[in-house]
Structure 1
Amino acid sequence: MEKSKSLLFYAGNYKILTYLACIFSGISALLALIPFIYIWKVVEEIFRVAPDITKAEGLPHYGLMAVVFAVLSMLIYFAALMCSHIAAFRTARNMRSMTLNHLMKLPLGFFEENGSGKLRRIIDESSGQTETYLAHMLPDLAGAYVTPVGVIVLLFVFDWRLGIISLIPFVIGIVFLMKMMGPSLAGSMKEYQNALEDMNNQAVEYVRGIPVVKTFQQSVYSFRNFHESILRYRKWAINYTISLRMPMCGYTVSINGIFAFLIPAGVLLILSAVDYKAFLLDFIFYIIFTPICTVMMNKIMFSSENAMLAKDAQRRIESILNEKPFEKAKSPAVPKKNDISFEHVSFTYKGGKVPALKDVSFQIKEGKTVALVGPSGGGKTTAASLVPRFWDVDEGKVSIGGVDVRNMDEQELMNRVAFVFQDNHLFKTSILENIRISKPSASREEVLTAAKAAMCTDIIDKLPNGMDTVVGTKGVYLSGGEIQRITLARAILKDAPIIILDEATAFADPENEYQIQKAFDRLTKGKTILIIAHRLSTVKNADQILVIVDGSIAEQGTHQELLQKNKVYARMWTEYESSATWKVTVKGGAKA
């Protein structure tokens, strides 16, 4: 991983405002100490003229000066917060912008490996944590570090003995604080964020799957992953709380127990004082002043904790920024044909031990259709994903028109390939814009033509505003098969020479499947097709069928050739035909 940048790197030219905020906060913290001196001088004046307080001529001046410095401290602190907030907002914005821009450069496989809930939390909440830290905690931390200088000076100005006694509980408090704020806390903060990230990701996946869960009455089973993530977080939180219980109690008692040291020491010292009135006056100053030390320590503790959170948030943002996009070809080549070739391709997923593909070689001639079939997890989708560079091969190469896809310009590659997945997504916008996303320059007439070719006319006719109906609002929702047809319209509008179909009829009912199959005829005409399907009836007419088992090609040939071999494909076809002719026997012996 690359070396972490300074948090202020993301502020750009606005980081000067953060520096000004820290300076203003430090000045404000020092000015905030001066009113205590004037309050003490009020007490001193009263002691001097007592019992005739009318002779205390300096009281109005001291009181006014205490108010002036208090107000001045507040105004400067307000200026500090203004500077810090402006810089913090810009920093958070830049973080989000840089991260989102970088995401657009990453291969599509990255999004398969990282859930949307996890990425959303990193981009949104992590940048929000840095914003809170820079806007509030960093100026407070600067002030909290400047305050001890003034505090220590004042503690020793009046009576060095009382000053030392006043510092004893704070030294003890610092010892406890260091136990809480050391490397172990940084590790705990990381675990805390990991637990929240995991919970957030599982929650998003659970909510997205609720319709399926309710359909199949699997609520308890489906809740398991989410529930386990909650239990992991609970376990971490309880253990973390228990580990901090004693240090936190010791810290709280020590910094709030200054009078347990100060009062007994004052009683003993006043007995031996030459001028007990002067000593008593100094003692009153320490009683008035030392509570600010408690506030100072708490600011240091909370600001330091938030500094760790901000650092961890920055680390998570940079975990995305440090992801390397695929290297761009230095001299990109443009294929003259649209055939696809796999040459001794091997590929293993990141963190995986077993290769997903092992020495796979095959060709798809231009304008021909090749189908990938086989057991789930065999590597079919992985093979198809290597064509558009969702991932890059570990060994061998994938070529289009004789050009390695790694040597093609990214835009050229994307323009040549259209995808129709089994799990498709419609944006919360009109049907028109949902289809036009594949070709933003397309006219309304072109979109309508593509929609008709994808057999979407019946869908559009039943919508209240036709093509301009916004999906997902006012009760407008589409079935899985209807969504599939809309995505087919996207692919038709794009008119790419290479089509990849991954379980394109997986969620379609018989009626929608029929419409989708008709749309396929329009989509695939004259194109190079790579199709993945479990419904063998959809691939029986393919020019070539490859049976992928455990990452390797077990057999290949046409439908008839594979049936004659009487091996894996023949068994799959027999099982498929059996399932297609199932009869359900109902009570009374009737068959449905």
Structure 2
Amino acid sequence: MFSSVRPYMGAYIVYTVRAAVAISVAVILGVVPYFFLYRIIAPLVAGGQMSFQTILMYVGLTALCLLGNAVLYVHGLSLSHKSAFNTLKNLRIALQGRLESQPLGAIRDLGNGRIKKMFTDDIDTVELLLAHAIPEGIGNLCVPLAVLLAMFFVDWKLALLSLLSLPFGIWAMGMMMKVGMDRMGAYYAAGAKMNNTIIEYVNGMEVVKVFNRDGESYARFERDIDYYRDMTLDWYKVCWPWMALYSSVLPCVALFSLPVGGWFVLQGWSSLADFILVICMSFSVGTPLLKAMAFGGKIPQLNFKIQELERLLEHPPLKASDRDFEGAGHDIAFTDVCFSYKDDEVIHDVNLEISEGQMVALVGESGSGKSTLARLLVHFYDLDSGSITLGGQDITNMRLEALNDRISYVAQEQFLFNTSLLENIRIGRPDATREEVLRAAHLAQCDDFLERMPNGIDTMAGDGGKMLSGGERQRISLARALLKDAPVIVLDEATAFIDPENEEKMNAAISEVIKGKTVLIIAHRLHTVVGADKIVVLDNGSIDAQGTHEELLQSSETYRRLWTAAQQTAEWEVRA
């Protein structure tokens, strides 16, 4: 039952065991006063007498037991929470490691909302199970079972009567767990869908407002929230009757022993003293047994939750070895490369060679596979078939870190962390000095906007780099690449957000970045790559043609069409 969580507990399982022992002793101390009560009642019922000092002694012992119960219960919960939160830490770290090994496509399919819910909400719910359900469930179950066993040594007939209510309660609880588990998967799926919708609604609010789509967007927002509400209520509706039944029947251990046991006494089959003792013991069993059953219903969720978290990241990790880069030079070769997004093949038998020091441009219509090929080179995904080599070494036959050390990837949309611009650039080479970072920023043409910043390069970028424009973020990312100084550069629409005034500066910065490098550049603006050593024309995931600009104008109808469209776009203007 605890097989899924055990690997994440590590050495802290000892704290959980100690917590269960402490809570068990606490429950025992909570049961003992009922025996003191029996010691007080039995002589009075039998017509005997008891001194005031004796009664006072039992009252004092009862107070000590209740105090011990409170102290040990709190101590047990303290230990269990220490174990729980360290287990959650281990779980989050383990899931983070698995997340990093996942292809980026699989991560994008999950959605930000699902990932956020997984690392916060879902894992936090595990805390209740670890900190309470396990130690309290064990402690509150073991003691009632021991008391019920002791009843057999007092009077086996009365003990059997006390057990008669348990099968009904356990059956009701089993039914509740069965119908609840059947709907648990749909319930969690509804929660994940709601989280993704909420995040999409918040992130897209600007677009929604600008285009007056409030009604449509809110309708989906409301629909998914209503669906989650309905799934939750449906889950509870099927569980409520069984919950009510077992919570009513289970604590009533005296349900049969009180009336039938009284008749046994009248018939002389049981003694009055034994009857009183069994009744007192029955009253002591009800509360802890009910607690144990309440937590017992939650313990099966523990495995389900852990397995569900692991299942979200069960996509096979990227193929890689523990070898360093051992290639000769930095030639790049795509050989019979095929790749699919899910079941849709988007790259078909691509063969491409890029010599060291060569600049190769990928061009083609949107959706032709340009960015996908670039991402395959930096190993964002595994191939369906074929191979990609760097310096003759397959990229799957080296550590991902070794590959990343040799490639600088500058994407169209760059993410900046909410730290200083200096630290954002320093991500390219963490050991770089301040002077080296400033020089990279200068070469990336960042000086003009850094001068406007209140603290210059020490200005905070804001969440996601919101303090900068799209073009400014791209120049910061270009400064990262300059600082990294990798031998291979991949530019995926690196000038997409550059305005005409700054395009010349960016081209000068890119010239600095690619000097002496092996370069793969993806561009929609064909005039920016006419000087490339080789231009590769992609069409629907396949290579249509390759050559220089002049050669392609002569030999490729697809390239001529793209070039004509680019020329017409350059001459396009708005007229009043």
- The alignment's TM-score, normalised by the length of structure 2, stands at 0.87
- 1:378 and 2:378 equivalent? no
* Structure-2 change in CA distance of 1:393 and 1:44 (3 Å): same
Which residue is 1:304 aligned to?
296
Deviates more, 1:520-529 or 1:450-459: 520-529
Which residue is 1:334 aligned to?
326
Which residue is 2:36 aligned to?
38
Which residue is 2:340 aligned to?
348
The structure 1 residue matched to 2:426, chosen from 436, 440, 449, is 436
Report the Cα offset of residue 344 of structure 1: 0.9
Distance 2:410 2:213 in 1: 28
Deviates more, 1:243-252 or 1:338-347: 243-252
CA contact (8 A) 1:339 1:364 kept: yes
- 1:59 and 2:55 equivalent? yes
- What are the within-5 Å matches in structure 2 for residues 37-436 of structure 1? 37-48=35-46, 58-153=54-149, 155-156=151-152, 163-182=159-178, 185-220=180-215, 229-255=224-250, 265=260, 272-273=266-267, 279=272, 290-319=282-311, 325-329=317-321, 332-349=324-341, 352-436=342-426
Report the Cα offset of residue 176 of structure 1: 0.8
Structure 2 residue runs without a partner (length 5+): none
Which residue is 1:8 aligned to?
6
* Structure-2 change in CA distance of 1:404 and 1:263 (3 Å): closer
Which residue is 2:26 aligned to?
28
Distance 1:405 1:494 in 2: 20
CA RMSD of aligned residues (A): 3.4
Distance 1:335 1:558 in 2: 28
Partner SS state of residue 462, structure 1: coil
Distance 2:316 2:523 in 1: 32
CA contact (8 A) 1:30 1:150 kept: no
Distance 2:139 2:2 in 1: 26
CA contact (8 A) 1:4 1:315 kept: no
Show CA shifts across 1:162-209 (max 9, x none).
544443333211111001223x53453343333323333443344334
* Structure-2 change in CA distance of 1:283 and 1:331 (3 Å): closer
Distance 1:332 1:477 in 2: 38
Structure 1 residue runs without a partner (length 5+): 585-590
Show CA shifts across 1:22-73 (max 9, x none).
22322332332111111233233444569xx885553112212222222233
Deviates more, 1:450-459 or 1:547-556: 547-556
Report the Cα offset of residue 132 of structure 1: 2.9
Which residue is 1:534 aligned to?
524
Report the Cα offset of residue 486 of structure 1: 0.9
Distance 2:329 2:207 in 1: 42
Report the Cα offset of residue 142 of structure 1: 0.8
| Fraction of identical pairs, as percent | 36
Which residue is 1:448 aligned to?
438
* Structure-2 change in CA distance of 1:302 and 1:578 (3 Å): farther
Report the Cα offset of residue 564 of structure 1: 4.2
Distance 1:373 1:445 in 2: 37
Distance 1:570 1:291 in 2: 91
Show CA shifts across 1:375-414 (max 9, x none).
3333222211111211222222112233322234433321
CA contact (8 A) 2:335 2:351 kept: yes
CA contact (8 A) 1:103 1:320 kept: no
Show CA shifts across 1:267-326 (max 9, x none).
7667x44599x74x7666666654554433432333223323322332245447766544
Distance 2:527 2:47 in 1: 107
CA contact (8 A) 1:340 1:400 kept: yes
Deviates more, 1:203-212 or 1:14-23: 203-212
Report the Cα offset of residue 428 of structure 1: 0.9
Report the Cα offset of residue 231 of structure 1: 4.7
